[in-house]
Structure 1
Amino acid sequence: MNDTAGELEFVPLAANDDETVGQWLDLMALAAETGPRAAPPCNVDMVGSLRFAPPATALDDWVVRSGGRVVGALRLALPDGAPTARVDQLLVHPGRRRRGIGRALWAHARELARKHDRTTLTATVVESLPSGPAQDPGPAAFAAAMGAHRSDIPAGTHQWLDLDRHDPLADGVPAVPAGYSLVTWGTITPDEYAVPVSELELSLGAGPVDRAAQEVRTSYARQFETMRVGRGRRAYHTGAVHDATGALAGYTSVSKTTGNPAYALQGMTVVHREHRGHALGTLLKLANLEYVLRHEPEVRLVETANAEDNHPMIAVNAALGFEPYDRWVFWTAEAGPSD
């Protein structure tokens, strides 16, 4: 039986609406029990996300109620200057599925995208790997039924490191290559590295970045830190400095939410192309893992993801004990003409 249009009420989600936010958090916890493998949702992190969006991105959050209760949720991410609206969250209460709520949320997403002058909707769907556990085919079938199709963007490989099964630090941290030194920092990047970190991340180490470009977008690193702190996250970084020039040759980052002591996220690892060939990527990851575990000894599971065509980084992760688990496949659909 479908929920009728009259029964569904779409409501913008605001951080100061305690009752609605509480129901939204309950919905995410329920959905996580039957969804793909992931760290459990952290309430501090999720409530913080309603106030602090990622850099150069706006978020538009909604819930849908039926009978006065939240039965679904939608989050659109709106990157600055892009024609796309990314569906970051489309959830239906497990007890209310197959009643048309998902379709109503998708229709609402298309309407919102048009209001934001976006021509395209994108979404990420979790699918099985040949060597991994079977994943629910429902999300891909739903995307196809809504008129979406697979994007040409390479899928992502989602990997997990279980420290109770693999100890990449058993042989210690490798020696630092001659001509380089390691530096560490926590959630807040030291002033001397804020712009170099931004350059490395935005260029993926491929080449020079024009520092006049608003001092690398007014330091992407500082914007990212604002989001992290606002969401109650903490982070651990290790960088490699080229001794002769003082340049930051590369860095890596691991972050944690407040509510999941056993889980950590391996984020960006990037080495400038002029400093590749010294195994700095592996060194940075191992040194940073040792740094994380000194401060977060309860961490047992570390997750990461890379584009499937990033074979070097996937190989580095595999050598450290990360195991592929599932694929993150990108889908796209037209938002339709503006009203």
Structure 2
Amino acid sequence: MNHVPSDPEFVPLAADDGDTVAQWLDLLAASARADTDSLNAPPCAADLTGSLRFAPPGTALDDWAVREDGRVVGALRLVLPDGAPVAVVDQLVVHPAARRRGLGRALHGHALQLARKHGRTTLVATLAEGLPDGPPLGAVPAAFATAMGAVRGAGPGGLRQWLDLNRHDPLADGVPATPAGYSLVTWGTITPDEYAVPVSALELSLGDAPADTVQQEVRTSYARQFERMRVGRGRRAYHTGVVHDASGELAGYTSVSKTTGNPGFLLQGMTVVHRAHRGHGLGLLLKLANLERVLREEPAVRLIETANDETNRPMIAVNEAMGFEPYERLVSWTRDVDPSGA
């Protein structure tokens, strides 16, 4: 006789529930093996477990597991940005062995219930689409989103790029000379006190607002909040900044980070140069100088991932000059949350 699974049971996912967390990690690993390719870093257990305790700055997380017969077969994570009307679906995962039984639809229904509880009016998810010259990507996520009533965003999306150091050597010609009037500085996961607020101001304004205006609005350092998350998730980071010698101001910086469980993978994060200091090649200089340092300390790194808004052509061009290749487009899908539950 065929086994009939019991009705799914939704349970909050908490960091101190060791058995459920272990099953959740197994679920994410199985899903990654089934759905992703060799370019994607495998799930890092330390990073994921830490994420249950440490949310990104300015957000809260609502994590759930779904069980059948006492085993975790699905997971849901909502990201709840402070002061925004949206609930972002960061995880909606069904174990490969439990698919095509309606669990995805049940998880989506639970996401709507949670969004209502949190007073959110819109459910948002970011899905990947293939590029004309990129690898083929499955159509299942978009088809599922459509079936759940979501609509594909019409505005600009994101562009995900990869640099394969086995195929490209961006440091073959060395690191460019630092322009006159500027000096490079470096730090690790923890930002020195003198740069914590300037880093926060640069990131929050993307270098476009006057630094003094933004710094007045940065009451608690965004950089410190980000560090708390990184340390709690076992990540380490490398930063290179550029200081304008005459004023002593931090004119720009770049950041990369990595998880403990994936020595070959690196995430290129924020690179920003204040608008008053653009036109000197500082963006490329920062990235190459930082990469040279990382590879001295992390020689196993072979693949570097980054993503930018597709309208940010200057930074995409910097990436292309380093050998980054386009991989996929990231598109926002949205669905209204009916407060009546209809």
Is 1:211 matched with 2:215? yes
Given the superposition, is the C-alpha separation of residues 140 and 256 from structure 1 closer, same or farther in structure 2, using an over 3 Å criterion?
same
User: Equivalent residues in 2 for 1:3-82 (5 A)?
Assistant: 7-37=7-37, 38-82=40-84
For residues 84 and 172 of structure 1, what CA distance do their matches in structure 2 show? 45
User: Equivalent residues in 2 for 1:187-202 (5 A)?
Assistant: 187-202=189-204
Shift of 1:36: 3.4
SS at match of 1:95: helix
SS at match of 2:128: strand
- Match 1:147 to one of 146, 149, 171: 149
Given the superposition, is the C-alpha separation of residues 229 and 153 from structure 1 closer, same or farther in structure 2, using an over 3 Å criterion?
farther
- Match 1:242 to one of 221, 241, 244: 244
Alpha-carbon displacement from aligned partner over 1:151-206 (angstroms, at most 9, x marks no partner): 24421111111111100001100000010000000000000000000000000001
For residues 155 and 113 of structure 2, what CA distance do their matches in structure 1 show? 24
- Match 2:111 to one of 109, 112, 117: 109
- Match 2:128 to one of 109, 113, 126: 126
Identity, in percent, stands at: 72
For residues 46 and 23 of structure 1, what CA distance do their matches in structure 2 show? 12
1:36 touches 1:126 (CA, 8 Å); kept in 2? no
User: Equivalent residues in 2 for 1:217-232 (5 A)?
Assistant: 217-232=219-234
For residues 210 and 45 of structure 1, what CA distance do their matches in structure 2 show? 31
> Normalising to structure 2: TM-score of the pair?
0.96
**Residue 336 of structure 1 corresponds to which residue in structure 2?**
338
| Structure 1 gap segments, 5+ residues each | none
Shift of 1:210: 3.6
Alpha-carbon displacement from aligned partner over 1:9-34 (angstroms, at most 9, x marks no partner): 00000001111000100011011112
Shift of 1:49: 0.2
Alpha-carbon displacement from aligned partner over 1:222-275 (angstroms, at most 9, x marks no partner): 000000000000000000100000010000000000000000000000000000
User: Equivalent residues in 2 for 1:258-337 (5 A)?
Assistant: 258-337=260-339
1:115 touches 1:338 (CA, 8 Å); kept in 2? no
Given the superposition, is the C-alpha separation of residues 218 and 260 from structure 1 closer, same or farther in structure 2, using an over 3 Å criterion?
same
> Normalising to structure 1: TM-score of the pair?
0.97
For residues 55 and 210 of structure 1, what CA distance do their matches in structure 2 show? 17
**Residue 182 of structure 2 corresponds to which residue in structure 1?**
180
For residues 35 and 106 of structure 2, what CA distance do their matches in structure 1 show? 20
2:198 touches 2:215 (CA, 8 Å); kept in 1? no
For residues 102 and 265 of structure 1, what CA distance do their matches in structure 2 show? 29
Shift of 1:217: 4.2
Equivalenced residue count is 335
